[in-house]
Structure 1
Amino acid sequence: MKALLSHAESVLTVSLDGCLDHTAGSSCQQLIDEIAPIRVSRVVLDLSRVPRIDSVGLGMLHLVRDTVTGIGARMTLRGAPPTVLRLLELTGSDQVFDLE
């Protein structure tokens, strides 16, 4: 998984590219390390290029959310494909995350 960060005003957009699964663990930790020092009011995770997510990837989204809320920001998931939305719905995570 690759992550591209772009910062405009008080919004940090993180565009993810690749599967969000057990193979993305080190990439996720690196992303958390990059996000933690940035002070914004909102973080948007663009999932439009994430074809697949598993339970480990879902856990990573929760870790990123914990980091984001820890810096006083809110997190939004944007552009999730149907397969990703389905997992979010099945696990009740669609009630936890703001979705666009």
Structure 2
Amino acid sequence: MFDRIRKYADRFRGTGGAEPPARREKRGHNLFEAAAAYVTARAEDDQDRIEEAAGWVSPEALSFGVSELACRAVVALARERGQSPRTVARDLLGLPAA
């Protein structure tokens, strides 16, 4: 599963998975690091860190990383609460129960 995500993410960076992992690491932050830093900075309302993290990867890659982080967070909370992911997502967004 993670190989598929990594290959998908490589398309955003233009590597196509052709470069060895050590070479990719030297390029800077990966999209998941950027997404984690971006979401954390947003949660803490730190505009400087938001802008810094947003500059680490392309906007498309950041969007994918934030989306992946959101999915994983909702699934983890749903398991923790013993609820469905749909119920948790709606609750987090302040939407009425469906």
Same fold (TM over 0.5): no
TM-score by length of 1: 0.30
Higher helix share: 2
Q: Which structure has the larger Rg over C-alpha atoms?
A: 2
TM-score by length of 2: 0.30
Higher strand share: 1
Larger relative contact order, structure 1 or 2 (CA cutoff 8 Å, min sep 6): 1
